[in-house]
């Protein structure tokens, strides 16, 4: 084990040293380095009268660290890092304990880019708690690595180097840059005097944390932020903190887990970006959730459900599991899942979207299947093979001033959500059969013909949509044993009438790729179009109304043999589905 310490002096002192030595032939590099005598805990250099409240040695062993009033939280992957903040009489002291089996660092100087490319912890402070989309002159960033080197920055038009009176020390339980053994942890204490930063023990400040972890000495770095603040470069997302703890705005009947909500004119309104509030006492595993919402900006806003998180916890997307149903920043109905990352489950375009309008979002949960409605129109249906069996629910706002009213939940499940179509397996969304047609009831709907296969020949269907969207036929499908899917975990070709009125051939295989598209002559949303593909396993001829629009030869062809139909929005009609 070893202890490393550095003291941050004024850049003015360094500049004076430079003036005194500039005329010599050689200037020792050590003259430019910040130094601190190991075990010296006060600021003892001339002109500095501030001393720290605690012993700054990098070891969080003082009784103050264990007081109930000392702020404590965890962040980074698997809560790898514990951080504490103690409000003393002379300043705040920030302490970290970073569990790390391979402690790595590679720099010999402060204020060098290598500091942030080593293992390091980050602390961001908005001393006036005045937010802003970018850093300002009252915002500071501190990066400290295991070797005791640091990069200190102050805001402005952008982050820039800063010098001022702070004190810090690092303690390492392990070996640095030695991957042959397993390290335990490294820890940091950072003292920030009130006098240096212009706030007091009674102030409210904005805070954020981050960390960079090199997997081993030779391998790449992985950056992780505090889950409450997805991007610490956006000061608006910082969390208010006082000596009494985090000041997240609470709304009666809700538990604020991130950001801030307030009651305004009987509406629940988000007052910070990236806000989540869970309904207290609410529990639902089967039934219906509904809320009226006015987004007021092009951001991701809606509801969360099946939330799996401890009571009274703070979270955004790390160390938590839940589903979300949004109207996203692009004006789409958007179903997704947070569980060891973000996963899109279904996206469907809303017609004539306006963020200033009021929308009703509704989710129905039944038999591990999620049905998502906007203004009583079913846009997305998804059955999750890895369903989250949890029951908490609430609100999530990506932007400011998102308004919520009439948030309700019940055990009621509508009778008309089965979506079965004779002769087809519905892999996504809902279809119905009516007067010889198969009609999409939801957006993001996909149905695959059962038993029958298609490996070569022709496949055609008549398609009519009531709104501009991507609708047509799919073929060459391999589902890899999945029963529910849209574009993840499967591969297929699709031939659409696109939302832009083009004949569009594409491919789903580890993502979406466009193969070719040609505008349709005299396109009208009111027309019915016959789509036909002629396929020999490699070359695809694409026809609209029996006219050949283009030919495409795939150098890496798909080999699946299932086929079906796909609708981007509700009320798309498919008729005369044939293969030959």
Residue 569 maps to which CATH number?
Answer: 2.60.120.560
**Do 298 and 365 belong to one domain?**
yes
Token readout for 317 is 């997307």
Lowest mean pLDDT: which of 103-112, 164-173, 444-453, 568-577?
A: 103-112
The yes-or-no verdict on residue 216 having pLDDT over 70 is: no
The mean pLDDT of 20-47, rounded to a whole number, is 39
Other beta carbons within 10 Å of 580: 9
The mean pLDDT of 44-56, rounded to a whole number, is 68
Q: Which helix (H) or strand (E) segment is 19 a member of?
A: helix 11-21
- pLDDT at position 393 is 97
Residue 189 lies inside a defined structural domain of this protein:
yes
Q: pLDDT-derived band of residue 107, with 50, 70 and 90 as boundaries?
A: low
- pLDDT at position 382 is 87
Other beta carbons within 10 Å of 83: 22
Residue 418 lies inside a defined structural domain of this protein:
no
**Higher-confidence residue: 3 or 426?**
426
Coil, helix or strand for 492?
Answer: strand
**Do 200 and 308 belong to one domain?**
no
Token readout for 191 is 């003292």
**Do 258 and 240 belong to one domain?**
no
Other beta carbons within 10 Å of 559: 9
- pLDDT at position 26 is 38
Among the candidates 189, 213, 245, a domain finishes at 245
User: Which of these, 13, 17, 210, 221, lies nearest to 107 by C-alpha position?
Assistant: 221
Residue 415 lies inside a defined structural domain of this protein:
no
How far is Cα 134 from Cα 226, in angstroms, rounded to an integer? 18
Partners of 171 in the β-ladder:
3, 187
- pLDDT at position 316 is 80
- pLDDT at position 43 is 47
**Do 90 and 60 belong to one domain?**
yes
Q: pLDDT-derived band of residue 36, with 50, 70 and 90 as boundaries?
A: very low
Token readout for 229 is 């603040």
How far is Cα 464 from Cα 461, in angstroms, rounded to an integer? 10
How far is Cα 187 from Cα 56, in angstroms, rounded to an integer? 11
CATH number reported for the structural domain that contains residue 241 in this entry? 2.60.40.1190
Q: pLDDT-derived band of residue 418, with 50, 70 and 90 as boundaries?
A: low
Q: pLDDT-derived band of residue 3, with 50, 70 and 90 as boundaries?
A: very low
E-strand spans in 155-297? 160-161, 166-173, 185-193, 205-214, 221-225, 239-242, 245-246, 254-258, 261-264, 267-270, 275-279, 287-294
E-strand spans in 350-487? 359-366, 369-374, 377-383, 392-397, 403-410, 424-428, 431-434, 437-440, 445-449, 457-464, 471-478
Q: Alpha helix locations (H) across 427-517?
A: none
**Do 448 and 306 belong to one domain?**
no
Among the candidates 354, 385, 410, a domain finishes at 410
Coil, helix or strand for 277?
Answer: strand
**Do 224 and 269 belong to one domain?**
no
**Do 148 and 10 belong to one domain?**
yes
Q: Which value, in Å, is the radius of gyration of the alpha carbons in the chain?
A: 29
Among the candidates 198, 225, 245, a domain finishes at 245
**Do 218 and 285 belong to one domain?**
no
**Do 119 and 200 belong to one domain?**
yes
Lowest mean pLDDT: which of 188-192, 250-254, 574-578?
A: 250-254
Q: pLDDT-derived band of residue 190, with 50, 70 and 90 as boundaries?
A: very high
Q: Which helix (H) or strand (E) segment is 125 a member of?
A: strand 120-126
**Do 259 and 357 belong to one domain?**
yes
Token readout for 201 is 């023990």
Q: pLDDT-derived band of residue 227, with 50, 70 and 90 as boundaries?
A: low
Q: Which helix (H) or strand (E) segment is 81 a member of?
A: strand 81-87
**Do 374 and 463 belong to one domain?**
no
Q: pLDDT-derived band of residue 219, with 50, 70 and 90 as boundaries?
A: low
Q: Which helix (H) or strand (E) segment is 195 a member of?
A: helix 194-197
Per the structure, the count of domains in the chain is 3
Polymer length in residues for the chain: 580
The yes-or-no verdict on residue 416 having pLDDT over 70 is: no
Q: pLDDT-derived band of residue 94, with 50, 70 and 90 as boundaries?
A: very high
Q: pLDDT-derived band of residue 24, with 50, 70 and 90 as boundaries?
A: very low
Q: pLDDT-derived band of residue 224, with 50, 70 and 90 as boundaries?
A: confident
Residue 241 lies inside a defined structural domain of this protein:
yes
Partners of 348 in the β-ladder:
333
Q: DSSP code of 322?
A: E
**Higher-confidence residue: 99 or 215?**
99
Lowest mean pLDDT: which of 407-421, 497-511, 560-574?
A: 407-421
Considering the chain, what percentage of its residues have pLDDT values greater than 90? 55
Q: pLDDT-derived band of residue 34, with 50, 70 and 90 as boundaries?
A: very low
CA 476, 479, 485, 490 torsion-angle sign: negative
The mean pLDDT of 432-446, rounded to a whole number, is 90
**Higher-confidence residue: 174 or 162?**
174
Coil, helix or strand for 237?
Answer: helix
Coil, helix or strand for 318?
Answer: coil
Average confidence score pLDDT of the chain: 86
How far is Cα 50 from Cα 92, in angstroms, rounded to an integer? 13
User: Which of these, 472, 482, 517, 470, lies nearest to 382 by C-alpha position?
Assistant: 482
How far is Cα 160 from Cα 568, in angstroms, rounded to an integer? 48
Residue 325 lies inside a defined structural domain of this protein:
yes
Q: Which structural domain range is residue 175 located in?
A: 2-245
Considering the chain, what percentage of its residues have pLDDT values greater than 70? 86
């Amino acid at each position: 084990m070893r202890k490393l310490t550095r003291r941050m002096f004024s850049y003015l002192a360094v500049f004076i040293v430079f003036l005194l030595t500039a005329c010599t032939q050689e200037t020792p590099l050590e003259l430019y380095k910040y130094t601190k005598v190991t075990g010296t805990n006060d600021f003892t250099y001339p002109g500095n009268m501030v001393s720290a409240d605690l012993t700054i040695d990098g070891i969080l062993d003082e009784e103050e660290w264990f007081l109930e009033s000392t702020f404590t939280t965890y962040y980074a992957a698997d809560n790898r890092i514990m951080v504490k903040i103690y409000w003393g009489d002379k300043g705040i002291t920030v302490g970290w304990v970073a569990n790390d089996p391979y402690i790595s660092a590679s720099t010999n100087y402060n204020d060098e880019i290598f500091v942030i490319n080593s293992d390091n912890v980050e602390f961001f402070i908005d001393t006036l708690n005045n937010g802003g989309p970018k850093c300002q002159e009252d915002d500071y960033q501190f990066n400290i690595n295991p070797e005791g080197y640091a990069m200190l920055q102050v805001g402005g038009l952008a982050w820039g180097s800063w010098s001022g009176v702070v004190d810090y020390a690092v303690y390492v339980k392990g070996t640095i840059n030695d991957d042959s053994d397993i390290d335990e942890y490294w820890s940091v204490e950072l003292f920030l005097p009130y006098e240096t930063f212009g706030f007091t023990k009674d102030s409210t400040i904005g805070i954020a944390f981050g960390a960079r972890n090199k997997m081993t000495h030779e391998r790449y770095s992985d950056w992780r932020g505090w889950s409450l603040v997805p991007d610490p470069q956006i000061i608006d997302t910082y969390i208010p903190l006082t000596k009494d703890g985090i000041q997240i705005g609470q709304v009666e009947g809700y538990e604020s887990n991130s950001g801030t909500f307030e009651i305004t004119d009987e509406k629940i309104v988000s007052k910070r970006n990236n806000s989540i509030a869970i309904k207290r006492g609410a529990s639902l595993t089967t039934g219906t959730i509904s809320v009226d919402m006015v987004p007021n900006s092009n951001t991701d806003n809606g509801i969360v459900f099946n939330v799996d998180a401890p009571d009274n916890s703070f979270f955004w997307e790390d160390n938590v599991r839940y589903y979300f149903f949004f109207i996203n920043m692009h004006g789409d109905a958007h179903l997704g899942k947070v569980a060891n990352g973000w996963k899109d489950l279904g996206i469907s375009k809303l017609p004539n979207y306006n963020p200033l309008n009021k929308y009703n979002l509704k989710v129905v949960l039944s038999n591990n299947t999620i049905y998502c409605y906007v203004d009583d129109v079913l846009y997305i249906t998804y059955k999750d093979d890895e369903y989250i069996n949890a029951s908490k629910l609430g609100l999530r706002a990506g932007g400011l001033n998102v308004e919520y009213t009439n948030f309700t939940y019940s055990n009621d499940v509508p009778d008309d959500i089965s979506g079965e179509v004779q002769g087809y397996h519905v892999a996504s969304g809902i279809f119905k059969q009516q007067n010889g047609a198969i009609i999409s009831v939801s957006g993001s709907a996909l149905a695959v013909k059962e038993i029958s296969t298609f490996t070569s020949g022709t496949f055609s269907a008549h398609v009519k949509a009531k709104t501009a969207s991507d609708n047509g036929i799919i073929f060459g499908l391999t589902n890899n044993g999945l029963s529910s899917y849209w574009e993840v975990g499967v591969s297929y070709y699709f031939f659409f009438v696109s939302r832009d009125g083009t004949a569009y051939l594409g491919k789903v295989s580890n993502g979406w790729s466009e193969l070719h598209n040609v505008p349709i002559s005299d396109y009208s949303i009111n027309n019915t179009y016959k789509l036909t593909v002629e396929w020999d396993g490699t070359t695809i001829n694409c026809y609209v109304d029996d006219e050949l629009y283009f030919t495409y030869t795939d150098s890496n062809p798909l080999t699946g043999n299932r086929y079906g139909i796909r609708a981007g929005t509700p009320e798309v009609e498919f008729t005369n589905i044939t293969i030959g």
